[in-house]
Amino acid sequence: MADDQTGAVLGCVAEEISQLKKHHESKCKIIESVGDFAYIITIQLQIKNLSLKFQLTKQYPDVVPAIIPTSNILTNVQNSQLSKYLMEKSEEFVGNPMIQNLIGACLQWVTENQNDITEPVKEKGKPTAKHSKKKRSLKNEEDKIIDKKPAMKTASDVISRILWDENLKSEDFIVAYMDRFVGIIEKSFDSFSWEDISSVDYYTLAIPKHRIFYFKYKTIKVWDKVQRLDLVFGSTGSKMTITDIVSNYEEQLKHDMEENLVFESDSRYEMPSDPNFFCDDEFCAKITQPNFFVALRITNEEILKTVAWMQEDILKSKPTYFDCFIPPVCLHLTLCMLRLDHTHQIADATNLLKNLQEEFSKTVADCNPIRIRNIYHFSHRVVYGCIKIPEELTDLVQKLKCYFYEEKLLTDINKNFVPHMTIMKLTRQVSKLTESNQIDPSIYEQYMNCDFGEQVVDNLYLCSTDKIRQEDGFYMSTINLKL
C-alpha cells in the first residue's frame, strides 16, 4: 500500500513539473537530485525582474518547498516579506501540487505592493569607477519617474464595484480563478459568495481573492492581473472604464453584424464537415474561410450535462486542454457552411431561410430525433460525438445546399456532409504547450462508447463564426427558425 501511495505522489509531481515546463518554457529551469532536494525549480517571471526558486524535498507535496524570491529591485525587507507571504500561502496547499498556485500568489503580492516597489536609491559616498560609469543624466532620472507604472486596482476593488454599482448587473460578469487541481476556471460572478471566506460554510462557493486572474463583462475581458489590464476603473492608464464598455457593447455587436466586419477565426469554432479539412491561418487565406454556418442547436439537457461531465472529468487530469473544449451551450450540428462577405449577402441568406421555414417544417414533420452516440476524431485534432441522422434530415441538408448554391451563397455544393457534434478542438496555443499537433488519444478513449442521448430536429440557426456570443452564450445568429 505504501509503495502505491509513493508511486502516486511521484506521478503527481512528475505531471506538475511537466505542466510547468510547457507553460513557462524557456523561463523554467529544473535541476534534479541536488543534495537533500529531489528538484530545484527556478521560474523567471515577466514582472519586476523577479524569479522564484523552489527547493523540493522527496516529501513534497506533503512538505512545503523552500521558496527563494530574487529581484534586483526588491529591497531585502521586501524580499523577506514576499518569502514569508509565500511560505504562509504554501501551507494552504499541503498535500497538493502547489507551484503554479504559489506563482499566482506571488503575482498578486507584487500587484498589491507595486506602489512600494521602486529601484533602491544608492547611498551617497565616494564614487568608484564602476559608479561613475553608471551615472545618469537629469533627463534619464526624469524619464524613470515618468515611466513608473501607475497603481492597479485590485480584484477586491472590482468585486466591490460590481456589487455596489447600481448601473452594473452582476449576472453580466464572469470570474476566472485558479483551481488547485484543474487550473483556471471561468464561472459567473453570481456563482460565488463574496462574504468573508472564513464565514461561509463548506457547501458555499467562495474563493480567496489572490486566486482571481481576470474578470469579463459578457465576452469582453475587463480586468486581468497578469496583463495589467483594467477597463473597470482605468487605473493602468486606459482611457476606457466599465461605463464605456457597457454603453458601447450592444452598439458594437449591432455594428459588427450590420457591417459584416472580417470575422476572426474562433478557437472554439467547429471544424468544417470535411474530415480532411484543417484550417490554419498561415495556410488558409481568410477570404476563403467560411464565416457563417447553418446549424441545428443541441438543446437536450441530457446531452449538455453529459458533455459537461466529460469535459470536467478530462480537465482533472489534463488541465492543459481547457481552451480546446467547446462550451456545452455552443454544441450544435453543422448542416451547411457559407461565405458571406457583404451585408446584402447576410440579408439574402437570412430571408431565404425565413421564406423556407414552412417547407423545412414539413420536411422534418415526421422526422425521428438524431442520436448522438460514441465519439471519434478527425485526424486526432477534433474530437466529436458521432451522429446518426434520419433520412428526412439528410433531405433537408440537400435542399439547403441547393437553395444556397442557386443564390450563389454556397461555393462548393459537393462538399461531404459528415454529421458530428464537436466536443473539443486542438488550438494553436495548446498544440505549442503540448508540443504536438494532435490531441492525446488517451484522454478520450475511455469515453468512446458514450451514449449522449437524442436531439429533436426542431430548430435552425444561421450563425456567425465570430468570437462574439449572444447573451445566452450561443453563437451570434441572424435568425432562429422553429421547425
Q: What is the pLDDT of residue 253?
A: 56
Q: Are residues 433 and 300 in the same domain?
A: yes
Element (H, E) at 40: strand 37-44
Look at residue 21 in the predicted model and tell me its pLDDT. 81
Strand order through the sheet with 292-297: 332-338, 292-297, 459-464, 477-482
Residue 209 in any domain: the answer is yes
DSSP alpha helices (H): ranges in 179-297? 242-259
Residue that finishes a domain, picked among 254, 272, 298 = 254
How far is 206 from 426, CA to CA, in rounded Å? 31
**Residues 205 and 317 reside in one and the same domain:** no
313 and 447, same structural domain? yes
- Report whether the peptide linkage leading into residue 319 is cis, meaning its omega lies within 30 degrees of zero: no
**Distance (Å, whole) CA 280 – CA 432:** 14
Indicate if 305 and 451 belong to the same structural domain: yes
Q: Identify the CATH number of the domain in which residue 464 sits.
A: 3.90.1140.10
Residues 334 and 462 in one domain: yes
Residues 6+ apart with CB under 8 A from 234: 240, 241
User: Do 412 and 471 share a domain, yes or no?
Assistant: yes
250 lies in the same domain as 305: no
Same domain, 163 and 247: yes
Looking at the structure of the chain, the number of domains it has is 3
Residue 170 and residue 232 in one domain: yes
* Per-residue pLDDT, 332: 95
Which pLDDT score, from 0 to 100, does residue 123 have?
46
In a domain, 114, yes or no: no
pLDDT at residue 307, rounded to an integer: 93
**Domain extent for 59:** 19-108
The answer to whether residue 70 sits within a structural domain is yes
CB contact burial 252-265 (16+ within 10 A = b; e otherwise)? ebeeebeebeebeb
User: Are the C-beta atoms of 95 and 80 separated by less than 8 Å?
Assistant: no
Largest CA distance in the chain: 95
Residues contacting residue 112 through CB under 8 Å, at least 6 positions apart: 154
| Domain boundary pick from 108, 128, 145 | 108
Q: Cα–Cα distance between 280 and 257 in angstroms, integer?
A: 24
Based on the domain organization, do 387 and 439 belong to the same domain?
A: yes
Residue 31 is part of a domain; what is its CATH number?
Answer: 3.10.110.10
Residue whose C-alpha cell reads 495589467 in the numeric block: 228
- Which pLDDT score, from 0 to 100, does residue 8 have? 54
Residue 234 in any domain: the answer is yes
| 3 state SS of 422 | strand
What span, in angstroms and rounded, lies between the C-alpha atoms of 73 and 442? Answer: 46
Report the distance separating Cα 461 and Cα 296, nearest Å.
6
CA distance 213 to 320: 16
**Edge-to-edge strand ranges of the sheet holding 66-71:** 28-34, 37-44, 50-56, 66-71
pLDDT for residue 256: 44
Alpha-carbon distance of 447 to 29, in angstroms, equals 36
What does the pLDDT profile of the chain (483 residues) look like in tens digits?
A: 445 555 555 667 888 888 888 777 778 888 887 767 788 888 887 665 788 888 888 888 888 888 888 877 777 778 778 888 888 888 888 888 888 888 888 888 887 777 666 654 444 455 554 444 455 554 455 444 444 567 889 999 999 999 999 999 999 899 988 776 656 778 889 888 888 767 666 666 778 888 888 999 887 889 988 778 899 999 888 778 999 888 887 666 554 444 433 333 333 333 333 333 333 333 334 445 788 999 999 999 999 999 999 988 888 888 888 889 999 999 999 998 898 878 888 888 999 999 989 988 888 888 899 999 999 988 889 999 999 888 888 888 888 888 888 887 876 666 667 899 999 999 888 888 888 889 988 888 889 999 999 999 999 999 998 877 888 889 999 999 998
Residue 128, in any domain of the structure: no
Shared domain check, 326 and 205: no
Q: Is residue 214 within 8 Å of 221, Cβ to Cβ?
A: yes
Q: Could you give the count of Cα atoms lying within 13 Å of 256 in the half-sphere of its Cβ?
A: 20
CA 474 – CA 419 distance, rounded (Å): 20
Q: Does residue 27 form part of some domain?
A: yes
Task: Determine the residue type at 2.
Answer: A
Q: DSSP secondary-structure letter at 395?
A: H
Is 282 part of a structural domain of the chain? Answer: no
Q: Are residues 443 and 339 part of one domain?
A: yes
Does some domain include residue 35? yes
Instruction: Check if the beta carbon of residue 461 is closer than 8 Å to that of residue 480.
Output: yes
